[in-house]
Amino acid sequence: MKRNFVIGMMLLAAMVAFAGGGQEESAPAEMGEAMDGPWSWVIDTGGFPQVNALKVEGNVITAGSSTVFPAAEYLAAQFQDEGYTDNITIDSIGSGGGFERWTTGETDVSNASRGIKDSEIEAARGIGREPIEFRIGTDALAVVVNPSNEWVTDVSLEELAAIMTADNWSDVDPSWPAEPILKFIPGTDSGTFDYFVEEVFDEDPEPLLASSNVQLSEDDNILVQGIEGSPYAIGFFGYAYYANEGEALNILNIEGVEANTANVDAGAYPLARPLFMYSDATIMQEKPQVAAWLAYVLNNAKDGMLGVGYFEAPADVIEAGKQKWLDAVGDMY
């Protein structure tokens, strides 16, 4: 609630009560509480608003990145625990699939592990939507092997490209087993696939797609199961899926750098990448519950990321996202 609006309404209530003479006085809204209506969930703190989940009404429809999915699901459960009683749909279909739905008007929010493409921006504008990007956290893309794999613990990006296109482990290094390399990778609709191809294959997916023994899936849990099931398997996905498995997977260092908080924060881990949610000002204004969900995510992004094994976004980036939110909703409350 914007402070000048609250004060104005309180003065108005006082004037009405005075004019009423002996009529029973009605209690004015407390400072920090919004008036009744679709924006009544707003709690003014003097800065970026907090969200009263008990007062948020209406469903929220989201879809997109399987990498963002665990954090979004975690935050949605927390939101509901705090009193939100309607539905948040979170479909895990890959960043590309999420943008496809969002740019055809099927969803309110698109979850993404890559930035929106120019072609997707144009598609959004074609239906009157202007994408607003909210960065919510950071992922350290995990390249993992079965715990029985004792021959590789650290790879350069060049070696990683060689492994992902070779037939046998011994084709990369003669001292490694003469066994087929089983590759479990995200599907081509996935932002994780796009990011890996960009960083490891200079944006050319053909060598990876033409490689032998490749299984693609938009479901990262299927990839996890495949790698856990064979000592000769390798794959990659968001860090949270590795963190969830404990000792059932081994993560490789990349260019001698371990995927940990210090290295991610310092920008030293070569495969660290931002995680996003996208929406539009008109959606947020016409569906206050979407604005509430995004405000809740921005206020609790750190908890959401750390709660599932990701890494927090820089504080200044979250603050910039909050300003985008304020600009988008304007004077709606």
Per-residue model confidence (pLDDT) at position 26: 32
Residue 55 is classified by DSSP as G
To which residue do tokens 């009744």 refer?
36
Count of structural domains, the chain = 2
149 shares its domain with 260: yes
Domain shared by 168 and 253, yes or no: yes
Residue 35 is predicted with a pLDDT of: 60
230 within a domain of the structure (yes/no): yes
DSSP state of 240: H
Q: Bridge-partner residues for 88, per DSSP? A: 60
C-alpha triplet 253, 301, 103: angle, nearest 5°: 95
**Pairwise CA distance, residues 168 & 165, whole Å:** 9
Last residue of a domain, one of 219, 241, 265: 265
**Structural tokens at position 220:** 């990262």
Query: Is 38 inside a domain boundary?
Result: no
Average pLDDT of the residues in 196-222: 96
Q: What is the DSSP letter of 269?
A: S
DSSP letters spanning 178-237: SSB-EEEEE-TT-HHHHHHHHHHSTT--HHHHTSSSEEEES-HHHHHHHHHT-TTEEEEE
Confidence of residue 246 (pLDDT cuts 50, 70, 90): confident
Same domain, residue pair 146 and 260 = yes
The last residue of a domain, from among 211, 237, 265:
265
Domain around 283:
60-139+278-329
Please name the residues in contact with 303: beta carbons below 8 A apart, sequence gap of 6 or more. 75, 78
Residues 153, 229 share a domain: yes
Q: Are residues 81 and 111 in the same domain?
A: yes
- 148 and 228 share one domain: yes
**Per-residue pLDDT at 29:** 40
Q: Are residues 212 and 188 in the same domain?
A: yes
Q: pLDDT by residue (tens digit) across 161-182?
A: 999 999 999 999 999 999 999 9
pLDDT of 292 higher than 70:
yes
The candidate with the shortest Cα–Cα distance to 302, out of 289, 321, 283, is: 321
**CA–CA separation, 254 vs 95, rounded Å?**
24
**15-19, 42-46, 57-61, 88-92: range with lowest mean pLDDT:** 15-19
Strand, helix or coil for residue 26: coil
**Contact between residue 240 and residue 306 where contact means Cβ atoms under 8 Å apart:** no
- 155 and 174 in a single domain? The answer is yes
Task: Read off the pLDDT band of 12 (50, 70, 90).
Answer: very low
- What is the average pLDDT across 245-254? 95
Give the domain CATH number at 227.
Answer: 3.40.190.10
Which tokens is 270 given?
Answer: 């070569």
Q: Are 64 and 116 in a shared domain?
A: yes
**In a 3-state reduction of DSSP, which class is residue 165?**
coil
